[in-house]
A = this chain, B = another copy of it.
Amino acid sequence: MHNASAESLTQLRQIYDSNKETALQEFFTFLKFPSISSDPAYAQDVAACAQWLQEYIADMEFAVEIWESPGHHPVLYASWYGAGRDAPVLLIYNHYDVQPVDPLDKWISPPFEPTIRDGAIYARGAQDNKGQCFYVLQALKTLKARDGSLPMNIKLCIEGEEECGSSGLSRLLSEKASRLKADYVAVVDLGIKAPTVPSITLGIRGIVTMEMEVSGPHIDLHSGSHGGMIYNPIKALVEILAQAYDQDGRVTIPGFYDDIDPLTPEDKAKLSFDFDENEYTKTFGAPATGGERSLSPLERNWLRPTLEINGIWGGYTGLGFKTVIPAKAYAKLSCRLVPNQSPQKMGDRIARFLEQQAPPGTSVTVKVSEGSGPAARAEINSKLTKAFALAYQEVYAKPCQYIYTGASIPVAAALARTCQGELILLGVGLDDDAIHSPNERFSIDRLEKGTLLMARGIEFLAQSLPEASPSKSSTLSTSEWEDGL
């Protein structure tokens, strides 16, 4: 098995390499679409990008559909059922939309003119998520080029609204549930621990966001004439927010740590909690002193809910001084959730707590936003995880580690639930890919590694499963099977 394995990897690498120049040109074409989903001005570009992708995937002999969404950022759905009606189905999730580009003046080369420097491709979306989407497609193409076929049935779900909350896909889930059905679901939008450390992400946190408004007098007042009389809404705001944390960094909101489904000690022991405090401080300019003091940094970030103030504003913020007591003050908050915590329930809990802290003479309203999503977790002992752990190990020539991330992919849990399949969270992203910042980049080397990782992972998964047999209850319905042929 090991020798056959090494041989397959070599073959796949040779095929990929022989096609590398063409693939790079195609990737550049993909990157040139300014498919910024959060700005309606780019709606045409998002649609054009989906159109290009549809043709590209159709050329791979997949059946491709465009599912329109209310926000005009269509979901691209594709399927290949050549492995036979009774073969298992793997659904792979990516997104083709990208983050905005400002501040534009910080880009060394224009964000939608891909440029290679020092072995990396610089462009908006180079990693997140066009890069990771593109190597998924290259993996499928490479396998097909070698074998004329794929070892299992594949569905692709590539959405165009991940960067603005996935509301279109979220709404389509129930309507398209039968189409999305899969035995395995791979969300390929994650990263590895370090450039030479292969790692599978076993969990992402959920998220719920909200905006808080403190109201005091009905007009702005002079802080000399009214200071000491009116209750300053900014003072109320800082007092309320400060009350949400205790001196040990714990969130004091009742129920904040309820409902948590903890990891088993066995599973926890398998995670790599190594954390280099010096390296962190050097990279980010500050040590990891936030959050619950009694826990280690990665435990706090991966396995605990957190509440962050993402924005605050009120009063006079210009040059010089204006001695004003403003009528209102504001904050934006986000709460990251761990498995078993409900975004709605947590949002309501936090909102109620903050509203109840309003000092006399002020009032507080908290609006919980749409676009929330629960945490998601992958099983460390599943066949799916084991198959991809082997693939990571083979491609990186090192044992695969297991990590979590504190970040969120709001739609991931709902997608896995809709598909009714096992979930895995994959990718070869790195912390310094600058994915939401100027000069986003992705190394040419990782485009290849990602391709091989996905191809070999699919092979390992297919090999680990029992032979398909007509007696097994099929994931594909008759009509779907016929549509897909």
Q: Measuring CB to CB, which residues of chain A are less than 8 angstroms from any residue of chain B?
A: 38, 164, 205, 207, 209, 216-219, 221-232, 234-235, 237-239, 241-243, 245, 280, 284-292, 297-298, 300-301, 304, 306, 308-317, 320-327, 329-332, 334, 336, 359-362, 369, 371, 405-408, 431, 436-437
Contact = CB atoms under 8 A, between A and B. Distances in A.
A242 to B, nearest CB: 4
Contacts of A226: 284, 290, 301, 406
B316 A332 contact: yes
Contacts of A292: 228
A101 to B, nearest CB: 14
B308 A408 contact: no
Given A238-B237, A300-B228, A316-B310, A289 B332 contact: no
Given A227-B306, A315-B310, A325-B310, A219 B285 contact: yes
Given A287-B360, A310-B324, A315-B332, A297 B229 contact: yes
Q: Tell me if A's interface is mostly helix, strand, loop or mixed.
A: loop
Contacts of A216: 285-286
10 contacts: A218-B284, A223-B334, A225-B407, A226-B284, A229-B297, A241-B242, A286-B362, A311-B317, A317-B332, A321-B371
Given A229-B297, A436-B222, A245 B239 contact: yes
Contacts of A321: 209, 310, 332, 334, 369, 371
A405 B224 contact: yes
Given A238-B312, A321-B310, A329-B312, A219 B304 contact: no
Nearest to A298: B229
A3 to B, nearest CB: 40
A365 to B, nearest CB: 15
A23 to B, nearest CB: 29
Given A284-B218, A285-B217, A315-B310, A227 B323 contact: no
Given A217-B286, A323-B310, A436-B222, A291 B227 contact: yes
